[in-house]
Chains A and B, each alone.
Chain A
Amino acid sequence: MSRHVDLLIVGAGPAGMSAAIVAKRHGLRVLVVDEQPSPGGQIWRNIENLAGTPRAGLLGKAYGEGAAVVGRFRASGADYEPGTQLWHVEAGAGARAFLRRDGAASSVRAGCVLLATGAQERPAPFPGWTLPGVMTVGAAQIVLKSSGQIPSGPVWIAGCGPLPLLYAMQLLQAGGMVAGFLDTTPPGRSREVIAALPAALLGAPGDLLKGLSWIARLRRHVPYIRHVAAIEATGEGGLENIRYVTADGRDATVEARLLLVHEGLVPTIHPTLALGCRHVWNTDQDSFAPALDGWGETSEQNVFVAGDGAGIGGARAACLRGELAALRIAAKAGRLSEAEAEALALPVRSRLARALSPRRFLDRYYRPRPAVFIPPDQTIACRCEEVRVAAIREQIGASRPGPNQVKAFTRAGMGPCQGRQCGYTVAHVLAAAEGRSVPDVGLYRVRPPLKPVTLGELAALDTMDALS
Chain B
Amino acid sequence: MFRTLDQETGETLTVHVDGRPVAAIADESVAALLLRQAAPWCRTTPVSGALRAPYCMMGVCFDCLAVVDGVPSVQTCLTPVREGMRIERQQGRPDVTP
Which residues of chain A have a CB within 8 Å of any CB of chain B? 35-37, 42, 46, 49, 54-55, 83, 85, 103, 120-121, 130-136, 138-140, 142-143, 146-153, 174-175, 237-238, 257-258, 383-386, 415-417, 420-421, 452-454
Contacts and interface: CB of A to CB of B under 8 A. Distances in A.
B1 A258 contact: yes
A39 B79 CA distance: 15
Interface of B: 1-8, 10, 25, 27-29, 32, 35-36, 40-41, 45, 47-48, 50-63, 65, 71, 73, 77-78, 80, 98
A54 B60 CA distance: 29
Contacts, number: 131
B53 A135 contact: yes
19 contacts: A36-B78, A121-B60, A130-B52, A130-B55, A132-B52, A135-B54, A136-B55, A136-B56, A148-B5, A148-B28, A149-B32, A150-B2, A151-B3, A152-B3, A385-B47, A386-B47, A416-B98, A417-B62, A420-B60
A42 B58 contact: yes
Contacts of A46: 27
Contacts of A257: 1
B25 A417 contact: no
B62 A416 contact: yes
Contacts of B60: 120-121, 417, 420-421
What are the 8 A-B residue pairs with the smallest beta carbon separation, nearest first? A132-B53, A139-B57, A147-B32, A147-B28, A152-B3, A416-B62, A148-B8, A142-B57
A150 B6 CA distance: 10
Nearest to A45: B58
Given A386-B47, A416-B65, 20 more contacts: A35-B78, A37-B27, A85-B59, A132-B40, A132-B51, A135-B55, A136-B57, A139-B56, A142-B57, A143-B35, A147-B29, A147-B32, A148-B10, A152-B1, A152-B36, A238-B53, A383-B61, A384-B62, A417-B62, A454-B98
Main secondary structure of the interface of A (DSSP, over half): loop
B95 to A, nearest CB: 13
Given A35-B78, A148-B10, A452-B98, A383 B63 contact: yes
Given A138-B58, A417-B61, A151 B45 contact: no
A231 to B, nearest CB: 15
A367 B55 CA distance: 22
A315 to B, nearest CB: 16
A420 B5 CA distance: 32
A98 to B, nearest CB: 16
A139 B58 contact: yes
A151 B2 contact: yes
A138 B62 contact: no
Nearest to B9: A148
Contacts of B25: 147-148
A54 B51 CA distance: 35
Contact of A175 (B5, B52, B55, B56): B5
Contacts of A85: 59
Nearest to B57: A139
Nearest to B72: A454
Contacts of A386: 45, 47-48, 50
B65 to A, nearest CB: 7
Contacts of A453: 98
A257 B85 CA distance: 28
A150 B62 contact: no
A199 to B, nearest CB: 31
A449 to B, nearest CB: 10
B2 A132 contact: no
A258 B2 CA distance: 9
Contacts of B29: 146-147
Contacts of B5: 55, 148-150, 174-175
Contact of B53 (A55, A83, A133, A385): A133
Nearest to A457: B98
Contacts of B47: 385-386
B28 to A, nearest CB: 4
A130 B2 contact: no
A134 B55 contact: yes
B58 A238 contact: no
A83 B27 CA distance: 13
A204 B8 CA distance: 34
Nearest to A155: B1
A349 B73 CA distance: 44
B82 to A, nearest CB: 12
Given A257-B1, A416-B62, A452-B73, A149 B52 contact: no
Nearest to A454: B98
